[in-house]
Copies of this chain bind each other. A is one copy, B any other.
Amino acid sequence: MSALRKAMQEIGRHILKVAETISDEEIEKIVTVLINARSMGRKIMVAGAGRSGLVAKAFAMRLMHLGFYVYVLGETITPPVAPGDVFIAVSGSGMTQVVLSVARAAKQVGAIIVAITSFPDSPLGKIADVIIRVPGRTKIARESDYFTRQVLGIYEPLAPLGTLFEDASLAFFDGLIVELMNKLNIGEEDMRKRHANIETI
């Protein structure tokens, strides 16, 4: 079987595994924080570097479809963070410097800090009010998590660098969106009405 297929299976199975390990308590906490922010007119701000930042943006887009006041750190029209706003930081290692420095600034302002990370004990985890632990590649990976490079016969991971964390975080956020649809009683049709339109006409 091709390396491509094996890698996709690795990702799909990782998402299924993470679906089991996320704790109910963690889910309830983040749902409560988000719904409260929405009902009290608080802003949600998302941040992340590299691919984690892209995952954060994909989540922000859906929050907008659900009627949240959501912004992406570093984009043009991002307003200041105010006390009671929610700051969502995505960082697998929990140590990404640019994310950490803005998260600290947001905490100082009085925002509620939500960390999506593989490491609850990381610097980011330590300042977070809510932590969602999304595991990446485990240190003790099984042999089946690797493919053999054809030319040199060397073992390489089926999901290099932060891939497993990033793809599982996206799936987690997409699951969270469905949970919020449920709790807020918002359907797909309502979301479609808030979807950007003029790029597609």
Contact = CB atoms under 8 A, between A and B. Distances in A.
A75 B65 CA distance: 14
A141 interface: no
B97 A187 contact: no
Interface size class of A (residues with CB under 8 A): 35 or more
Interface stretch (A32-40, A114-122, A123-131, A156-164): A156-164
B167 A170 contact: yes
A61 B70 contact: no
Contacts of A157: 188
A80 B193 contact: yes
Interface in A154-201: 154, 156-161, 163, 166-167, 170-172, 174-179, 181-183, 185, 187-188, 191-201
Q: In this complex, which of A8, A76, A78, A95 has the most chain B Cβ atoms within 10 angstroms of its Cβ?
A: A76
A175 B77 contact: no
A24 interface: yes
A54 B1 CA distance: 29
A14 B16 CA distance: 11
Contact of A80 (B71, B174, B196): B196
Given A80-B197, A158-B178, 15 more contacts: A7-B175, A8-B171, A11-B15, A50-B195, A51-B58, A54-B58, A60-B76, A64-B76, A70-B77, A80-B195, A87-B198, A97-B200, A97-B201, A147-B182, A156-B178
13 contacts: A5-B19, A6-B178, A8-B175, A49-B196, A51-B58, A62-B160, A64-B79, A70-B77, A74-B199, A81-B197, A147-B182, A150-B185, A161-B195
